[in-house]
Structure 1
Amino acid sequence: MAATNPAKTLQDETSCPICLEYFKDLMVLDCDHNFCRACITQCWEGSQTLSCPQCRQTCPEKNLRPNRQLRNIVEAARGLRLQSAREAETEGLCEKHREPLKLFCKDDQIPICVVCDRSKEH
């Protein structure tokens, strides 16, 4: 079994499966799947039958409930990400790849790592 990255797992679990961003105005359906209120509302817009975009279970009505516990975890994950980015900057490491910033992108005018350079992002 491959080793899992706890930071990646946390990010996945605190992200909306529709917009792939951290949850905003987090809502849970009867099937226990979570979505941003705006994402699920837009997904259901104009639909005759309301169903969960993940498991396709039919929802009898727009029964959205806030998920306060997961909302608190999302806020903590956001804080960890910001802290990690600040630490990477002070350590001279790429925020995305955690590699030393050895190169400089002339177009973007920022230091980059070798992985960024090879990925053609810069």
Structure 2
Amino acid sequence: MAEAQLFVSQDDFTCSMCLDTLTDPVTIPCGHSFCLKCLTDCWDQSQECSCPQCRHTFTTRPTLRRNTLLNEILKKFTKTRLCSPPSQNYAGPGYVECDFCTGKKLRAMKSCLTCPASYCQTHLQPHYEVAAWKDHKLVDPDRNLKEKLCEKHQKSLEIFCETDDTCICMMCGVTEHNGHKMVKLETEREEKQVSGV
């Protein structure tokens, strides 16, 4: 009989309190799991016992017991992860984070000026596969996406108005800068780089 493959990521074993891999996992009556220390510290500092994730309140403090099944799965997952190289890197200092990752954020591979958001390799896939997103403007990861958007129309700045010496979006070009001398932003950038301005 063929063995089924199970695809899991580190996020599936992350404590939502410390955002690290579960340590001594305990599962509370609502079904959520946390590190024993994280949950104990939280409840010791609070007047009531509630789930940090779904906020379900318990009338009496539940007895916490280690989730042995989850603990065994974590051991196997950790061992497997140590044997194989990581497929993707988490965003560290100096890197742009994926806007769609939950828990620990993966490093963004591209930023989309149309959306505007930054995406890891997994969350970027729809931009290559969904027909409606294929014409979106993808650039290298950029943490300053807001600066590349027109404040008025929230569209990407793609045109340079030579008359007003400013970057504008297509809507501005049609409405407020009609009749002005305009060039593509890339053209203006190249000319300035050549002239050393």
Aligned equivalent of 1:96, options 80, 89, 103:
89
- Structure 1 residue ranges without an equivalent (≥5): 1-5, 89-93, 98-114
Matching residue of 1:91 = none
- Structure 2 residue ranges without an equivalent (≥5): 1-6, 91-108, 110-139, 142-197
Partners in 1 of 2:76 and 2:88 — Cα distance? 18
Partners in 1 of 2:79 and 2:13 — Cα distance? 12
Asked whether 1:73 is paired with 2:69, we answer: no
Matching residue of 1:30 = 29
Contact 1:30 1:63 (8 Å CA) reproduced? no
TM-aligned CA deviation for residue 84 of structure 1:
1.1
State the AA in 1 paired with 2:78: R
Partners in 2 of 1:53 and 1:84 — Cα distance? 33
Matching residue of 2:49 = 50
Q: SS in structure 2 opposite 1:24?
A: coil
Contact 1:33 1:54 (8 Å CA) reproduced? yes
TM-aligned CA deviation for residue 52 of structure 1:
0.4
More helix by share: 1
Identity %: 36
Q: State which structure, 1 or 2, has the greater radius of gyration over its C-alpha atoms.
A: 2
Structure-2-length-normalised TM-score: 0.39
Cα RMSD, aligned residues only: 2.6
Q: SS in structure 1 opposite 2:34?
A: strand
Contact 2:27 2:34 (8 Å CA) reproduced? yes
Structure-1-length-normalised TM-score: 0.60
Partners in 1 of 2:88 and 2:47 — Cα distance? 44
Asked whether 1:39 is paired with 2:32, we answer: no
Partners in 2 of 1:62 and 1:47 — Cα distance? 14
Q: SS in structure 1 opposite 2:31?
A: coil
Contact 2:36 2:66 (8 Å CA) reproduced? no
Q: How many residues get paired?
A: 88
